[in-house]
Structure 1
Amino acid sequence: MRFDQIVRGRSADFLSPKASRPIPHACGIVRDALVQATLDPEILEIDFIGTAGTEARPIDIQVITFRTIAGWRYLDIEVARPLRSLGDADAFDRELRARGLAPYTLKGADILKEPRFSTARAIWTYRRFSVAPDMRHRLLVALAEDGPTSLHHLCSSVPGPLDPFASVLSLACRNEVEIDISTPLSPSTTVSSRS
């Protein structure tokens, strides 16, 4: 089965505060790449290109794109590359080059690398946690005043009534705070304001 058939047939759309619209994806490792991209401060925007070309000669692209500090790139996961004929591969390459898109290549091992993989998944479980406006304001003010701090210090300085731990993780999922996913999630995990 081709990647684009998986995207159209079995996937759920991925919602990210870094994307202006839902991103179709193929579940599994692609979803994990999108979760990590949402939490990664180096990735500023996420988008998707379905088809390109002309109405008479459409080109099936089906790629997720990331805007990084260096510009736009397309997500190229080695284990999830679609099978394309030589003609389709040439048209695909030409279209992406014409758009100035270089690959953002990841191996499966890059996405599954610990502790980043588990930390991102643990944080993402809080994406639906509802943070009261007052709690959100107090957490953001504390980060603005104190600068980057440990998760423990931030949660201690802004007590409830809502769970400050869940609130911080939810704000990270909403792209309102940065949280270090390169280390295991713990009281010493660094949290900082979005610049």
Structure 2
Amino acid sequence: MQKNPTSLFVSFKATRAIPVRNAIRRDFMIQSTLDPGVRRIEYHPTTTLFDCLVRVDALVLDRDDGRFAVDFVDTRSAEDPDGEGVLQVGFDENCLGLMAIGDADVRREPLFTSAREVWRHGGINLHATDRAQVLETLESEGPVQLRALKGLTDTRRDLVQVIYALACEGSVALDLCAPLDDRAIVCAGFSAKSAHVRYGT
């Protein structure tokens, strides 16, 4: 679904609210937020190219394997049709390189459907005891399959909903490249102790 140009995406990994130009970029930001290998999402609206200020709406991902500027090859800015501005952002931000992302990359399954399903639960208010049970279990047991976690906890709300909501705030992480079923591995997220919880729109 095409998003209103004024819509903003907000994530615990984002350094600021990011304008949502199209559905592909929104889905990519959701997937990056839920990816435990991505530490931070930065937004750079403009850059200077040939002494001119150019709108690029560029994203930079700070990942476990380095910093990368994201080149949405199928949906580049009209002011930067060849991606030169994104390349300049990559240089300016000391990135290791560019990530060329096409529509098909974002829509690959099961990641595409799984990330959307998890993100739907971002607005759920969790009871403190549900949160504590899951996080304490993961702290003591380490990564576990969802079906094992069901036997180790007794949450008020459906455990799957609790896990998905916790994933949206970064308190737990899931492998979304594998199917979301009882065999899905759940592990503690890097922001499990964060007091600031924010969700996308």
Q: Which residue of 1 aligns with 2:159?
A: 164
SS in 1 for 2:74: helix
**Structure having the larger proportion of residues in helix:** 1
Shift of 1:85: 6.4
Tell me, yes or no, if structure 1 residue 153 matches structure 2 residue 157.
no
In 2, distance between residues paired with 1:92 and 1:178? Answer: 29
The AA in structure 1 aligned to 2:165 is S
Q: 1:152 to 1:26 in 2, by over 3 A?
A: same
Q: Which residue of 2 aligns with 1:138?
A: 133
Q: 1:81 to 1:146 in 2, by over 3 A?
A: same
Contact 1:140-1:193 within 8 A present in 2 as well: yes
In 1, distance between residues paired with 2:148 and 2:83? Answer: 51
RMSD: 2.5
Q: Deviations over 1:7-51 (max 9, x none)?
A: 9x7241011111132111213111110111011111110110112
Gaps of 5+ in 2: 191-201
Shift of 1:162: 2.2
Question: Which piece of structure 1 moves more, 96-105 or 110-119?
Answer: 96-105
Q: 1:41 to 1:90 in 2, by over 3 A?
A: closer
Q: Which residue of 2 aligns with 1:178?
A: 173
Gaps of 5+ in 1: 1-5
Shift of 1:96: 3.2
Tell me, yes or no, if structure 1 residue 118 matches structure 2 residue 113.
yes
Q: Which residue of 2 aligns with 1:3?
A: none
Q: 1:158 to 1:151 in 2, by over 3 A?
A: same
Tell me, yes or no, if structure 1 residue 34 matches structure 2 residue 29.
yes
In 2, distance between residues paired with 1:182 and 1:91? Answer: 31
Give the TM-score taking structure 1 as reference length: 0.84
Question: Which piece of structure 1 moves more, 107-116 or 66-75?
Answer: 66-75
Contact 2:46-2:56 within 8 A present in 1 as well: yes
Q: 1:82 aligns with which of 77, 89, 106?
A: 77
In 2, distance between residues paired with 1:53 and 1:124? Answer: 35
Contact 1:23-1:64 within 8 A present in 2 as well: no
The AA in structure 1 aligned to 2:189 is R
Give percent identity, aligned residues only: 24
Q: 1:103 to 1:149 in 2, by over 3 A?
A: same
Please identify runs of 4+ aligned residues in structure 1 that moved more than 4 A.
88-92
The AA in structure 2 aligned to 1:32 is D
Q: 2:64 aligns with which of 52, 66, 69?
A: 69
Contact 1:60-1:92 within 8 A present in 2 as well: no
Q: 1:65 to 1:98 in 2, by over 3 A?
A: closer
For the pair shown, which has the larger CA radius of gyration, 1 or 2? Answer: 1
Q: Which residue of 2 aligns with 1:99?
A: 93
